Amino acid sequence: MAKKIEPTLLTDGNPARRIIVFALPIFFAEFLGIFYTMADAFIVGRWLGINGLAAVGTSYNLICFFNGFAIGLSSGFTVITAQRVGAGNEEDIRRSVASGITLCFFASVALTALLMPLSRPLLTLIHTPQEIIDDANGYVLIIMSGILVSMFNYLLFGIIQAGGDSFTPTVFYVIGNVCNIILDIICVVVLHWGIRGVALATVFSQVVAAFLSFRFLVKRFPQFLPKKIDWVTARSDWAAHLSLGVSMGFQRSIVEVGNILVQASINSLGALTIAAVTAAQRVRGFNMAPLFAVSRAQATYVAQNYGAKKMDRVYKGIFQGCLINLGIGIFMAVLNLFTGAPIVSLFLIDSPEAIILANRYILFTGYTVFILGIMLVFRSSLQGLGQRFAPNLCGVMETVMSIFAAFILIPNMGFTGVCLVNPLSWFASGIPLYIAFVIYWKKTKEQISIKEVM
């Protein structure tokens, strides 16, 4: 029998230090993920040209819509697992893991069957240029065939992180991305399988990461593994898990609805603009990676401390998390001034016009990314507290701004409208979060003093 190892708790020590230390491996994983997307774009752009890069780019938001709900669903399940780790009841933890596994299986099968037939009609609906629609559809179908693996991958990562270990999932994420890059080269450069080869490499790399995560979970946290009785009693927990999971999945997928509409407007500007935005979004991803890492650490930190009933630490962590992301945002704004154009030129070979457009997009993002950082801290914190309404409304607000951009800004302002989409969406989506936090804080402020928070 595997040796039982106690989970790492974030319920003592300096909040900022705990959040940063926990976030570092997650950031490393996010960074390597961005490095992979850059390597992917480099391979596609260099060997498959502008149209190949545009096919991947126009598919991206559609895939995020499909995967977003699945990933949000599994993330919601593991927030409850983290709360129970903080509370320390192993039976409750096992039931949570059993609920997550069961619900992920049924959800992934349903999503695959429902969404795959919609791929080409949706690509047509968002005005995908005819010269790239076949490649884009092939890419989407292969990625969607792996939604079961993707969902379990995020579930396993989340369970391990709920146990206080953010380093090991990073290692497996790195291994998966290294496999992905190697397979990209083999499938595209050696075997000449085109866009479909890129998609196959992605699915296989997720299989590798999921397998490694499962093996590690069995060895490191055997006390988390459900017993026979837990699969039966877990049914009483399904409603609670689905409530938070569907909430987080809805939040992610509704945001992608807006992004799909924005992509449709971008598609109307032509393949060159699509390729420019695709390349620029790789750099945007690098800007956002540390902010998402802090927010993911924040969710686990808040969930554990909430489960341990340490509300003073919850509020200190939120305040300090905002300061951390504010500093990161300022740093990224400065960095973009010097690195934006050189990076996108790697993907957009022999296309100076596309490089100019991409660099313009990057500068807009860099100057405003701190808005995203603060919004993410509040969203993750409210999710860690088990709040559902405000994070959902956050997604609705982001979608409303994306719809506004798709039908008003981009048609009237062209590429400038494209550049304004993200800043306006980040600002609008934060409003319900800040209001909800103030309301929640007022309800619980008698438990702490303002001096303790600051």
Mean pLDDT per 10-residue section of the chain, whose length is 454 residues: 56 84 80 74 77 79 78 85 84 90 89 83 85 87 88 90 83 87 89 87 91 91 89 88 83 74 84 83 82 87 85 89 92 85 75 84 89 92 84 82 88 90 90 91 65 48
Q: Residue 304 falls within a domain, yes or no?
A: yes
Q: How far apart are CA 144 and CA 199, in angstroms?
A: 9
1, part of any domain: no
- Nearest Cα neighbor of 73 from 27, 106, 37 is 106
6, part of any domain: no
Please indicate, yes or no, if residue 275 is contained in any of the structural domains: yes
**Using an 8 Å Cβ cutoff, are 94 and 225 in contact?**
yes
Q: Is residue 2 part of a domain?
A: no
The domain of 329 spans 15-453
Question: Does any domain span residue 405?
Answer: yes
In a domain? residue 8? no
Give pLDDT, residue 446.
57
Query: CB-based contacts of 443: which residues, under 8 Å, 6+ apart?
Result: none
136, 59 in Cβ contact below 8 A? yes
Number of domains in the chain: 1
What pLDDT shows up at residue 430? 92
What pLDDT does 7 receive? 61
The pLDDT of residue 451 is 45
Three-state DSSP class for residue 4: coil
Instruction: Mark residue 386 as left, alpha or beta (left: phi above 0; alpha: psi -120 to 50; beta: remaining).
Output: left
Q: Within a domain: residue 252?
A: yes
